[in-house]
């Protein structure tokens, strides 16, 4: 008897289950080089996969310790995790680190003084040459490092310009000549920083680390000791081969490599506990500022890889995490110092309405069936049979709970990228920390018990915060299958109904607010449009205020009853007017009546759970509420600035200046299938307008003329003026006399390059004139001259010049008679 369809489906499902791994898989191939990493994965009860395994391309987690990161990123699936961020090389490369920090230093000069003055060669060769005198010597010492070097290879110290190859890609830094010393030896700290996620940004600082000492006693650099690397360079790979290297065998208090915990205790005894706390706080701030300088790049690369960004391709304007890889909207993560109190509650309501509507309906139906069956059985039973009824009710409750477990929505949460950075920090005599470089591939080799203790704790706790499940692959594939079926069925439905858009969703815009995007997406979903929109409207009208909003209202009432009783009746109107900004409102009321401000912001539960797992780490961003009273840099202003500049840069690439117009959302209208209305918030680009049908962004009331044309392309002079303006100079070209009188060092280098270009053009013209003259001279025919003295011809007392002078043809003999006489 042939098997039925149900049996066949059951066999297929069991076959699929056998192919999938039974636990979380961790790729531990050749690119995972260190034993402490593999041991940490085993402690998490994960299954280690090697290169020979058929599951190597479907692992849940990848750990890469080689420079082949981009190769693995190319084949990474959206549901997988990896221990790197795309774009982190912008601070791992020495030249890009200097450029990004210099960019931030222009806006925040006091906040970004933690990096030594650096010159990126060959781009900044003119400014670098100005550091030397006419003889090519400098008063300061420079340390020159290759751009992509590691382990101290290619690093040297110099004071002479002739020793620096300015055509080679490298970075020349001011050498810290007065460093803090331990036992008369130079040292630096290897700080471990965990970037748990970039969207939203979460940064942790490991409380311990390594102190790496040189093997030679330090002497200030001079001509005789510049070549002594073991005196000036703290790299472990350089000093470990020295005969004076002392291996640490104890608890990190002796030897050429020690623990940061010992260093902090020693420094506290030498300089005082208060200075040590302030110094360690600055180290955490340095790590945040460094990562924040490239945050837009990290967010953009993350969104492109995992599909968590704006569907229209608009550049990200913040690091807020709103959508996971499944397209489900998550609860908004607030910063610990600012934000709306009710945002989390409103986001959760929209999320449950948009993604959980079907599961909620299934649960209600299941509960109805259970209650119906329970009631019918109760009618048949007698009142005396209480034990039977109790057992039936308990079994019904257990079956109800099982149905709820079956219908529970599965999701893929957490960041899909994390990274452990190794920051090299050095101090001067005044305990000012300096960032030397950033390593995105720090060594986790365990050459000593101290290395094993510190590095194993770093790796194991970093892996513990990954919200990874063995069902991530199945959940993602099922989600993609449902979406493809929905697109197929909705397209067929739109075609049969004669729709013009064929079931395709309208283009989204970046500045419209998250709630409007959610409502637009929900309204265009053919499967859940009727149920979800009604749920949103019902929850907006009937939902009770969150505890945070209730607390804010009670606080305002308390203040008004004590200081302004006449305003008690206006509290409800005030709360409705400032809905979503209750925290700000409470602060204003407290400040008006000179009351000590009470913070109403609550920590994110995800952050609190991560803090418990990372017990050997300090959270440095966002700042914990327990440390909110301490003075800290304005990280929010830095983040806003860097995202604003990145959006401008991306818009210049996507929408040229002559095609991008500033628009007002109330005056401009984008038409789409008869549905007008402002859908952009402040700007309109040609790309968006081609889709929506209004290519030139005209006003709704403006008549369309046949002669209307877009603006012409800029002229050559306008392009030249814009180029000078982008370099920081005036748009008007200066005369030579003004240039000599008022040029700065940067301008002089620019005019010097201009003179070199003019000189090369003059040389080309001179070569052309020489070639033209040579061609003209080649056109004149050269006639051979033959002198024949065999017939007794004589010069007759004439000189040779007179004899060879050309004469007329009279009395001459042949051609030769023109040049001599008989």
Average pLDDT, the chain: 74
| pLDDT score of 521 | 52
| pLDDT score of 782 | 53
- Residues contacting 548, CB < 8 A, separation 6+: 341, 342, 345, 582, 600, 602
- Residues contacting 154, CB < 8 A, separation 6+: 145, 146, 170
| pLDDT score of 369 | 38
51 backbone dihedrals φ, ψ, rounded to 5°: -65, -30
Percent of the chain residues past pLDDT 90, beyond the cut: 36
- Residues contacting 13, CB < 8 A, separation 6+: none
Other beta carbons within 10 angstroms of residue 131's beta carbon come to 16
| pLDDT score of 129 | 92
Other beta carbons within 10 angstroms of residue 324's beta carbon come to 19
More confident residue, 369 or 487: 487
Instruction: Give the burial class of 227: count Cβ atoms within 10 A of its Cβ; 0-12 exposed, 13-18 middle, 19 or more buried.
Output: exposed
Q: What is the mean pLDDT of residues 154-163?
A: 92
Q: Which of 649, 654, 647, 643 is nearest to 688 (CA)?
A: 654
- Residues contacting 85, CB < 8 A, separation 6+: 195, 198, 298, 301, 302, 417, 419
Provide the CA 613 distance to its chain's centre, in angstroms. Answer: 25
Lowest mean pLDDT among 297-301, 680-684, 754-758: 680-684
- Would the pLDDT of 243 be above 50? yes
CA 106 – CA 641 distance, rounded (Å): 12
342 backbone dihedrals φ, ψ, rounded to 5°: -90, 5
- Residues contacting 441, CB < 8 A, separation 6+: 65, 66, 67, 92, 150
Residue 782 — left, alpha, or beta (φ > 0 → left; ψ -120 to 50 → alpha)?
beta
CA 426 – CA 433 distance, rounded (Å): 6
The secondary structure element, H or E, covering residue 494 is: helix 472-496
- Would the pLDDT of 707 be above 50? no
More confident residue, 92 or 799: 92
Q: What is the mean pLDDT of residues 170-179?
A: 93
Instruction: Give the burial class of 3: count Cβ atoms within 10 A of its Cβ; 0-12 exposed, 13-18 middle, 19 or more buried.
Output: exposed
- Residues contacting 388, CB < 8 A, separation 6+: 381
CA 340 – CA 513 distance, rounded (Å): 14
310 backbone dihedrals φ, ψ, rounded to 5°: -70, 130
Report DSSP letters for 548-587, one per residue.
HHHHHHHHHHHHHHHH-GGGGGGHHHHHHHTTT-HHHHHH
Strand, helix or coil for residue 387:
helix
Query: Among the ranges 167-181, 304-318, 393-407, which has the highest mean pLDDT value?
Result: 167-181
Q: Which of 10, 36, 3 is nearest to 449 (CA)?
A: 36
Q: How far is CA 791 from CA 286, 788, 794, 813, 822, in A?
A: 103, 7, 9, 12, 10
Q: Give the confidence band of 421 by pLDDT, cuts at 50, 70, 90.
A: very high
More confident residue, 277 or 350: 277
Instruction: Give the burial class of 717: count Cβ atoms within 10 A of its Cβ; 0-12 exposed, 13-18 middle, 19 or more buried.
Output: exposed
Percent of the chain residues past pLDDT 70, beyond the cut: 63
Each residue's pLDDT tens digit, 335-390: 333 333 333 333 343 333 333 333 333 333 333 333 333 333 333 334 444 444 44
The secondary structure element, H or E, covering residue 192 is: strand 185-198
- Would the pLDDT of 121 be above 70? yes
Other beta carbons within 10 angstroms of residue 693's beta carbon come to 10
DSSP E strands: which ranges in 324-447?
419-427, 433-439
| pLDDT score of 312 | 65
pTM of the entire structure? 0.64
Q: Give the confidence band of 428 by pLDDT, cuts at 50, 70, 90.
A: very high
Provide the CA 208 distance to its chain's centre, in angstroms. Answer: 26
| pLDDT score of 338 | 35
| pLDDT score of 112 | 95
- Residues contacting 527, CB < 8 A, separation 6+: 486, 490
Instruction: Give the burial class of 398: count Cβ atoms within 10 A of its Cβ; 0-12 exposed, 13-18 middle, 19 or more buried.
Output: exposed
Q: Give the confidence band of 413 by pLDDT, cuts at 50, 70, 90.
A: confident
Long-range pairs for 743-751: beta carbons < 8 A, 24 or more residues apart: 745/127, 745/130, 746/127, 749/126, 749/127, 749/130
Token pair in block for residue 257: 């490599």
Pairing of strands 25-27, 61-62: parallel
Q: Give the confidence band of 736 by pLDDT, cuts at 50, 70, 90.
A: very low
Whether the CB-CB separation of 205 and 175 falls below 8 Å is answered with no
More confident residue, 463 or 582: 463
Each residue's pLDDT tens digit, 206-227: 999 999 999 999 999 988 889 8
Q: Exposed e or buried b for every residue in 182-203, given b needs 16+ CB within 10 A?
A: beebbbbbbbbbbbbbbbbbbb
Q: Give the confidence band of 778 by pLDDT, cuts at 50, 70, 90.
A: low
- Residues contacting 226, CB < 8 A, separation 6+: 141, 156, 157, 158, 159, 232
Q: Which of 376, 435, 359 is nearest to 114 (CA)?
A: 435
CA 581 – CA 693 distance, rounded (Å): 37
- Would the pLDDT of 78 be above 50? yes
Q: Exposed e or buried b for every residue in 347-379, given b needs 16+ CB within 10 A?
A: bbbbbbbbbbbebeeebeebeeeeeeebeeeee
Q: Which of 542, 531, 545, 540 is nearest to 364 (CA)?
A: 531
More confident residue, 563 or 338: 563
Q: Which of 459, 462, 617, 614 is nearest to 36 (CA)?
A: 459
- Would the pLDDT of 498 be above 80? no
584 backbone dihedrals φ, ψ, rounded to 5°: -60, -40
Q: Give the confidence band of 504 by pLDDT, cuts at 50, 70, 90.
A: very low
Residue 622: asked if its preceding bond is cis (omega within 30°), the reply is yes
- Coarse DSSP helix, strand, coil percentages of the chain, rounded to the nearest 5 percent: 45, 10, 45
Q: Which of 44, 46, 43, 71 is nearest to 60 (CA)?
A: 46
More confident residue, 300 or 494: 300
Half-sphere exposure of 269 (CA within 13 A, CB side): 5
CA 474 – CA 13 distance, rounded (Å): 12
Each residue's pLDDT tens digit, 621-680: 999 888 877 888 999 999 999 999 998 888 877 665 544 444 444 443 443 334 444 444
Q: What is the mean pLDDT of residues 150-166?
A: 88
| pLDDT score of 21 | 61
CA 82 – CA 73 distance, rounded (Å): 8
Whether the CB-CB separation of 153 and 145 falls below 8 Å is answered with no
Whether the CB-CB separation of 296 and 381 falls below 8 Å is answered with no
- Residues contacting 532, CB < 8 A, separation 6+: 353, 354, 357, 522, 525
Q: Which of 724, 741, 742 is nearest to 732 (CA)?
A: 724
- Would the pLDDT of 535 be above 50? no
CA 631 – CA 633 distance, rounded (Å): 7
Whether the CB-CB separation of 640 and 341 falls below 8 Å is answered with no
Query: Among the ranges 60-64, 486-490, 512-516, 800-804, which has the highest mean pLDDT value?
Result: 60-64
- Residues contacting 666, CB < 8 A, separation 6+: 678
Beta bridge partners of 423: 191, 438
CA 634 – CA 759 distance, rounded (Å): 50
CA 663 – CA 666 distance, rounded (Å): 9
- Would the pLDDT of 759 be above 60? yes
Please calculate the CA angle 46-49-52 and round it to the nearest 5 degrees: 170
| pLDDT score of 398 | 52
Q: Which of 137, 83, 804 is nearest to 463 (CA)?
A: 83
More confident residue, 256 or 685: 256
- Would the pLDDT of 18 be above 50? no
């Amino acid at each position: 008897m042939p098997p039925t369809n149900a049996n066949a489906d059951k066999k297929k499902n069991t076959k699929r289950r056998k192919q999938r791994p039974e636990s979380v898989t961790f790729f531990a191939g050749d690119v995972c080089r260190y034993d402490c990493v593999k041991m940490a994965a085993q402690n998490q009860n994960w299954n280690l996969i090697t290169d020979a395994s058929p599951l190597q391309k479907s692992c849940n987690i990848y750990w890469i310790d080689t420079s082949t990161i981009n190769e693995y990123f190319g084949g990474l699936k959206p549901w997988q995790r990896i221990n790197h961020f795309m774009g982190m090389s912008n601070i791992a490369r020495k030249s890009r680190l200097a450029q990004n920090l210099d960019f931030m230093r222009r806006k925040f000069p006091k906040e970004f003084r933690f990096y030594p003055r650096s010159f990126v060669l060959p781009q900044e060769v003119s400014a670098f040459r100005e550091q030397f005198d006419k003889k090519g010597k400098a008063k300061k010492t420079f340390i020159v490092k290759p751009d992509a070097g590691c382990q101290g290879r290619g690093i040297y110290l110099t004071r002479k310009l002739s020793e620096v190859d300015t055509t080679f890609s490298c970075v020349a830094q001011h050498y810290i000549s007065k460093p803090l010393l331990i036992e008369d030896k130079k040292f630096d700290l290897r700080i471990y920083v965990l970037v748990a996620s970039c969207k939203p940004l979460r940064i942790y600082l490991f409380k311990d680390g390594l102190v790496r000492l040189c093997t030679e006693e330090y002497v200030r650099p001079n001509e005789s000791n510049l070549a002594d690397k073991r005196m000036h360079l703290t790299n472990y790979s350089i000093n470990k081969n020295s005969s004076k290297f002392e291996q640490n065998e104890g608890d990190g208090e002796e030897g050429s490599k020690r623990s940061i915990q010992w260093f902090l205790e020693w420094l506290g005894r030498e300089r005082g506990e208060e200075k040590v706390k302030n110094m360690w706080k600055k180290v955490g701030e340095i790590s945040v500022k460094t990562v924040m300088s490239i945050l837009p790049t990290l967010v953009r690369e993350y969104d492109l890889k995992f599909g968590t960004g704006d569907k229209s391709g608009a550049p990200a304007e913040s690091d807020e995490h709103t959508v996971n890889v499944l397209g489900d909207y998550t609860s908004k993560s607030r910063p610990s110092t600012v934000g709306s109190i009710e945002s989390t509650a409103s986001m959760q309501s929209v999320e449950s309405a948009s993604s959980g509507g079907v599961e909620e309906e299934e649960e209600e139906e299941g509960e109805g069936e259970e209650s119906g069956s329970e009631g019918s059985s109760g009618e048949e039973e007698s009142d005396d049979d209480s034990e039977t009824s109790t057992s039936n009710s308990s079994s019904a409750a257990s079956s109800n709970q099982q149905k709820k477990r079956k219908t529970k929505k599965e999701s893929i949460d957490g960041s899909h990228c994390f990274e452990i950075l190794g920051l090299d920090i050095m101090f001067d005599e005044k305990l000012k920390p300096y960032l030397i470089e950033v390593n995105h591939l720090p060594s986790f080799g365990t050459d000593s018990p101290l290395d094993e203790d510190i590095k194993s704790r770093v790796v194991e706790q970093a892996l513990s915060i990954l919200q990874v499940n063995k069902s991530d692959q199945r959940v993602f594939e099922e989600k993609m299958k449902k979406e493809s079926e929905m697109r197929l069925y909705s397209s067929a439905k739109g075609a049969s109904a004669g729709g013009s858009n064929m079931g395709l969703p309208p283009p989204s815009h970046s500045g419209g607010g998250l709630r409007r995007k959610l409502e637009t997406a929900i309204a265009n979903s053919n499967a859940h449009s009727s149920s979800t929109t009604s749920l949103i409207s019902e929850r907006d009208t009937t939902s009770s205020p969150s505890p945070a909003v209730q607390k804010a209202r009670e606080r305002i009432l308390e203040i008004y009853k004590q200081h302004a009783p006449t305003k008690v009746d206006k509290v409800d109107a005030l709360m409705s007017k400032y809905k979503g900004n209750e925290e700000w409102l409470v602060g204003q009321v407290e400040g008006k009546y000179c009351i000590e401000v009470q913070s109403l912001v609550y920590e994110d539960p995800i952050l609190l759970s991560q803090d418990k797992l990372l017990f050997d780490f300090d959270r440095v961003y966002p700042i914990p509420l327990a440390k909110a009273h301490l003075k800290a840099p304005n990280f929010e202003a830095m983040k806003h600035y860097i995202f604003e500049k990145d959006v401008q840069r991306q818009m210049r690439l996507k929408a040229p200046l002559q095609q991008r117009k500033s628009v007002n959302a109330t005056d401009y209208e984008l038409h789409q299938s008869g549905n007008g209305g402002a859908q952009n918030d402040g700007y309109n680009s040609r790309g968006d307008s081609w889709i929506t049908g209004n290519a030139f962004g005209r006003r709704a009331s403006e008549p369309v003329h046949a002669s209307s044309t877009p603006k012409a392309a800029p002229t050559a002079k306008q392009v030249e003026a814009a180029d000078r303006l982008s370099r920081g100079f005036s748009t008007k070209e200066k005369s030579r006399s003004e240039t000599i009188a008022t040029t700065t060092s940067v301008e002089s280098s620019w005019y010097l390059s201009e003179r070199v270009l003019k000189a090369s053009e003059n040389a080309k013209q001179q070569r052309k004139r020489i070639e033209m003259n040579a061609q003209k001279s080649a056109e004149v025919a050269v006639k051979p001259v033959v002198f024949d003295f065999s017939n007794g011809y004589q010069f007759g007392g004439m000189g040779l010049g007179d004899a060879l002078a050309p004469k007329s043809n009279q009395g001459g003999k042949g051609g030769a008679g023109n040049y001599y006489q008989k």
